[in-house]
Chain A
Amino acid sequence: DGGITQSPKYLFRKEGQNVTLSCEQNLNHDAMYWYRQDPGQGLRLIYYSQIVNDFQKGDIAEGYSVSREKKESFPLTVTSAQKNPTAFYLCASSTLRTTNEKLFFGSGTQLSVL
């Protein structure tokens, strides 16, 4: 089945530790995105990538890093510099044939701090 797979579903981070969230898509989408969702809030854009080996900062990129070595994969690293990492993280993808394409989401990763 085509879709977006995020793993793990739950992740715990110790203070000072970097953790990496996985996002894989088999939809052949060009663009991939990472969003952060805090309880009772909307989604805020962390990073996005429109092409392999290129990515752009979103609105809240500080304390996060990404890579896009393959079209299918867009992992997000939450670094120790991110002082408030507890949140629900959502990966999304879309085509870039036009600017008016639908966005599709993975099932999310809940990150908590120990």
Chain B
Amino acid sequence: GIQVEQSPPDLILQEGANSTLRCNFSDSVNNLQWFHQNPWGQLINLFYIPSGTKQNGRLSATTVATERYSLLYISSSQTTDSGVYFCAALYGGATNKLIFGTGTLLAVQP
């Protein structure tokens, strides 16, 4: 099955700083998603990005499928960006079973 690894495991930023989170996956995927889990446990889908680059406000993501990695960029970070960021990759053929990485814990300090 697909293995999903994320780095760094945790990250502390000052408000206004930029950061890059990385997700490596062990096999070719046709579904790669990024999620943000806020401190109250709610998971929000940030991007569906099996390849290419997408942007949404201060966040952008790039997946290079041939090299089996994806990057999440956070620019001008805010305290509300704090939480855990997960990437997840499709596993198991036609079923929509996503395998999650162990996450990057981000703390943005004012």
Chain A residues packing against B (C-beta within 8 Å)? 31, 35, 40-45, 48, 50, 56, 58, 88, 90, 92, 94, 96, 99-105, 107-108, 110
Name the residue on A nearest B44 (C-beta).
A105
Name the residue on B nearest A109 (C-beta).
B41
CB distance from A33 to the nearest CB of B (A): 8
The reply on B25 being an interface residue by CB < 8 A is: no
Known: A48-B95, A99-B30. A108 touches B41 (CB 8 A): yes
The reply on B106 being an interface residue by CB < 8 A is: no
Q: In whole angstroms, how far apart are the Cα atoms of A88 and B103 in the complex? A: 15
**Beta-carbon contacts of B69-102 to A below 8 Å, as 1s and 0s?**
0000000000000000010101000111110111
Name the residue on A nearest B47 (C-beta).
A102
